[in-house]
Amino acid sequence: MRLLSLFTSQAAVNSALIATTLFVSSTSAQDRTTEQGEAQITDPNQECTPYYYQPVSAAIAANEFPPIWTVATIVSSDTNAQAKYQSIQSQIPNIPPKGTQPASLMGDFSNFTPTYPSSDPDCWWTFDQCTTPKLAGLPPDLAVVPEPDTLGYGFDDGPNCSHNVFYNFLSQNNQKATMFYIGSNVMDWPLEAQRALADGHEICVHTWSHRYMTALTNDEVFAEFYYTMESIKLVTGVTPTCWRPPFGDVDDRVRAIAHALGLRTIIWKYDSNDWRAGTGNVTSANVDQNYEDLITRAQNGTFATAGTIMLTHELNNFTMSEAVKFYAQLKAAFKYIVPMGVATNQTQPYVETTYSLPSFEQYISGTTTISSGVPLPTDGSSSSTGSGSSSGSSSSGTSSGSSSTGTASRASSDGLGMLAAGAAFVGFAMKLLA
């Protein structure tokens, strides 16, 4: 039986620390209008100071997205989303939401402990880690990778505003990974999201507000997917075809909605528990041990017939540092470390067919990138005066240049967003414990 446990996470603390940086006026001379310029900043305080990005501001001003860091709902004026939602109704099974979303916005699954049927009719991963759906027509979750001695390499919860040193490390090692992005983070940090594509990583969906998906209603589940896909499309130009459920919380209803939107479900086999370090009784030494256990298994031939996937994060400095710390050992223990899409030969990882990933064979032969030159949407900062950001909206933006008013405006809205993010990340702390 599982127990529900609530505790304050290190993630929440870190988010709060990040939030405190939001109100520091930027004195940076860096170029914060392009992916290339943003990627050159390595001071975390500067990286995490909000900036103005016209396409996102314009989309928010036009009410094209739900509020960030709240459970997504279909925007009332969004006829495209409404039509899409109506078109998939017949594909959604009649499975009720499993919990509720109380004021804390965390799923309440207490009525399922210990009464959830052992036959588990809905293939609820959270309950029994089921990865082969019982509903006809749904593909199995990707929980391991087919290639022997191969690690499917990916990181959840980005784009993290302070990820440049980590992404630099990956680039220096010509290592590509799958980045599972939260839509609200994409809206907050669009140039950081662009960097994933520019660096040749694969981008998948990690929902809009990072909630327990089985606790949401059908339209909320839809909106969590839909607007994350739209946000990634808005800032990178591509639409993902894969997703990972926050907390691994998925059942056949959520899978069916994902499948109807063209999203493959990617889960994991091992959990580094990096996201929990400093919480409860999980220590950094425990996370080290989890990495070391995986490395030992790889050395012992555990993955001689099929590779595996471990849950790791770009959530904070610790989780990214752990990835760097153990990279060389993983590289030595596994024959190959590749993005999920490469491991499964998803050479067309996006809806837009202009972008291709290498096949597994191409990747291991040294061709780690097929397309990295997708034209990114322009910042359009020269037209920022038309964005609706007025100098009267804030008194904190005193730095020079035409972008300062926009920056101030972003700081104002993102301040709320990141504070909400801090609250949201408290949600990370609630975990169904085995």
Binding string to Zn ion for residues 106 to 145, with x set by CB under 5 A, is what?
Answer: ----------------------------------------
Residue 21: which of 323, 422, 394 has the closest Cα? Answer: 422
Stretch in the footprint of Zn ion (CB under 5 A) among 4-12, 157-165, 220-228, 266-274: 157-165
Q: Which two tokens stand for residue 244?
A: 């990972």
In the bound state with Zn ion, the residue whose beta carbon lies nearer, of 246 and 397, is 246
Distance (Å, rounded) from C-alpha 188 to C-alpha 14? Answer: 16
Phi, psi of 355 (to 5 degrees): -115, 130
Stretch in the footprint of Zn ion (CB under 5 A) among 156-164, 190-198, 285-293, 417-425: 156-164
In the bound state with Zn ion, the residue whose beta carbon lies nearer, of 29 and 434, is 434
Residue 130: which of 250, 258, 307 has the closest Cα? Answer: 250
Q: Could you give the angle at which helices 284-299 and 317-333 cross, rounded to 10 degrees?
A: 20
Stretch in the footprint of Zn ion (CB under 5 A) among 146-154, 241-249, 299-307, 375-383: 241-249
| 175 three-state secondary structure | coil
Minimum distance from residue 125 beta carbon to Zn ion (Å): 14
Stretch in the footprint of Zn ion (CB under 5 A) among 29-37, 239-247, 279-287, 363-371: 239-247
Distance (Å, rounded) from C-alpha 280 to C-alpha 7? Answer: 7
Minimum distance from residue 185 beta carbon to Zn ion (Å): 10
Minimum distance from residue 208 beta carbon to Zn ion (Å): 12
In the bound state with Zn ion, the residue whose beta carbon lies nearer, of 162 and 384, is 162
Please indicate whether residue 156 is annotated as part of the active site.
yes
In the bound state with Zn ion, the residue whose beta carbon lies nearer, of 141 and 157, is 157
In the bound state with Zn ion, the residue whose beta carbon lies nearer, of 92 and 179, is 179
Q: Which helix (H) or strand (E) holds 298?
A: helix 284-299
Does residue 230 belong to the site contacting Zn ion (CB under 5 A)?
A: no
Interacting residues of 330 by C-beta distance below 8 A, sequence separation 6+: 151, 291, 294, 295, 298, 337
Minimum distance from residue 57 beta carbon to Zn ion (Å): 26
Distance (Å, rounded) from C-alpha 84 to C-alpha 67? Answer: 20
Q: Determine whether 82 is exposed, middle or buried from the number of CB atoms within 10 Å of its CB (0-12, 13-18, 19+).
A: middle
Minimum distance from residue 259 beta carbon to Zn ion (Å): 20
Residue 12 identity (one-letter amino acid): A
In the bound state with Zn ion, the residue whose beta carbon lies nearer, of 255 and 313, is 313
Q: Which of 157, 220, 249, 252 binds Zn ion (CB under 5 A)?
A: 157
Does residue 156 belong to the site contacting Zn ion (CB under 5 A)?
A: yes
Residue 131 identity (one-letter amino acid): T
Does residue 246 belong to the site contacting Zn ion (CB under 5 A)?
A: yes
Q: In what order do the strands lie in the sheet with 308-311?
A: 270-271, 308-311, 150-152, 336-338
In the bound state with Zn ion, the residue whose beta carbon lies nearer, of 68 and 333, is 68
Half-sphere exposure of 174 (CA within 13 A, CB side): 8
Q: Which residue in 122, 141, 156, 251 is the catalytic one?
A: 156
Does residue 422 belong to the site contacting Zn ion (CB under 5 A)?
A: no
In the bound state with Zn ion, the residue whose beta carbon lies nearer, of 376 and 426, is 426
Largest CA distance in the chain: 64
Which residue's beta carbon is nearest to the bound Zn ion?
156
Using CB under 5 A as the binding criterion, the count of chain residues that bind Zn ion stands at 3
In the bound state with Zn ion, the residue whose beta carbon lies nearer, of 200 and 246, is 246
Minimum distance from residue 243 beta carbon to Zn ion (Å): 11
Q: Which helix (H) or strand (E) holds 12?
A: helix 10-20
Q: Which residue in 251, 274, 313, 414 is the catalytic one?
A: 313
In this structure, the strands spanning 3-5 and 431-433 are antiparallel
Minimum distance from residue 266 beta carbon to Zn ion (Å): 12
Binding string to Zn ion for residues 19 to 58, with x set by CB under 5 A, is what?
Answer: ----------------------------------------
Stretch in the footprint of Zn ion (CB under 5 A) among 118-126, 150-158, 170-178, 235-243: 150-158
Please indicate whether residue 210 is annotated as part of the active site.
no
Minimum distance from residue 434 beta carbon to Zn ion (Å): 18
The string of DSSP codes covering 56-91 is: HHHHHHTT-SPPTTS-----TT-HHHHHHHHHTGGG
Residue 159: which of 193, 191, 183 has the closest Cα? Answer: 193
Q: Are 82 and 74 in contact (CB under 8 A)?
A: yes
Minimum distance from residue 65 beta carbon to Zn ion (Å): 20
Stretch in the footprint of Zn ion (CB under 5 A) among 38-46, 126-134, 155-163, 362-370: 155-163
Which positions touch Zn ion (CB under 5 A)? 156-157, 246
Q: So which residues are the catalytic ones? A: 156, 313
